Chain A
């Protein structure tokens, strides 16, 4: 139980996530993706607002790999230089925590703004 709390505390330290990191995780939430697909997905999801460079993408992927939020995924038909990544259970759990946090903020903000307007 204590271990679980510690792990949760460690996760909470890394939240909130940056928008690029959040979008990368969301891109991997559905299925494993390789670098180029992630770039395009992030651009599409943010309606062109977040356009990552290759250097930025691989910096973020590196940190996520180091923190065990994502892992390399071996595709059956993978050509040279096309490495796919997928969320680990730990990464999925943290993504869910972040989504819950955002939901809470949104709910709170809606209530407060509505109170002010009355």
Chain B
């Protein structure tokens, strides 16, 4: 059981593991010694409690790290207290606003140019599919493809414990 428990402890953020890992194993060792003479059912309950405890505990600690969600000490079950905090530099907001302004300006200029060009009359005999209809069909597919590729990439990094979240956790663990 200790071996499995040690492996499951890896589910915790590095920082938590470094702070409490050895203590948790020491406590579990004492508990195992306590439970050796108990009946099979009691030992089974103990095993299930510890395994589910370590898995849910790890999940909660990750939630705390990822979303800066702090589980309240209060009785209200499931109530989560959110902590305010910027997760990216404030300059990002400025750049995003600038990019939005550029996009809006470009659209406006495009409309002005379209209005200044005289209409061709009679219409061209060859039917050409308008560009926007091609884009409208292709764009969602295009974005969906890159979105999926991004998600798969992130999942691989996460599985390899190389994601930004893990690196941050490792860094904060090192600092302690």
Interface residues of A (CB under 8 A from B): 13-19, 21, 34-36, 39, 51-59, 61-64, 66-67, 69, 80-83
Interface residues of B (CB under 8 A from A): 16, 19-20, 22-28, 30-31, 49-50, 52-58, 60-61, 70-75, 77, 81
Chain B residue at minimum C-beta to C-beta distance from A64: B73
Q: Do A63 and B20 touch across chains, with their CB atoms under 8 A apart?
A: no
B77 partner residues in chain A, CB cutoff 8 A = 18
CB distance from A106 to the nearest CB of B (A): 16
CB distance from A53 to the nearest CB of B (A): 3
A15 partner residues in chain B, CB cutoff 8 A = 74
Known: A15-B74, A63-B73. A58 touches B49 (CB 8 A): no
Q: Do B50 and A58 touch across chains, with their CB atoms under 8 A apart?
A: no
Whole-angstrom distance between the alpha carbons of A17 and B77 in the complex? 10
Q: Do A18 and B73 touch across chains, with their CB atoms under 8 A apart?
A: yes
CB distance from A4 to the nearest CB of B (A): 20
Q: Do A58 and B74 touch across chains, with their CB atoms under 8 A apart?
A: no
Q: Do B73 and A21 touch across chains, with their CB atoms under 8 A apart?
A: yes
A63 partner residues in chain B, CB cutoff 8 A = 70-71, 73
CB distance from A7 to the nearest CB of B (A): 15
B75 partner residues in chain A, CB cutoff 8 A = 16-19
Q: Which of B16, B50, B54, B72 contacts A62 (CB 8 A)?
A: B16
Q: Do B27 and A55 touch across chains, with their CB atoms under 8 A apart?
A: no
Whole-angstrom distance between the alpha carbons of A19 and B77 in the complex? 11
Known: A35-B26, A35-B27, A36-B27. A53 touches B49 (CB 8 A): yes
Q: Do B53 and A82 touch across chains, with their CB atoms under 8 A apart?
A: no
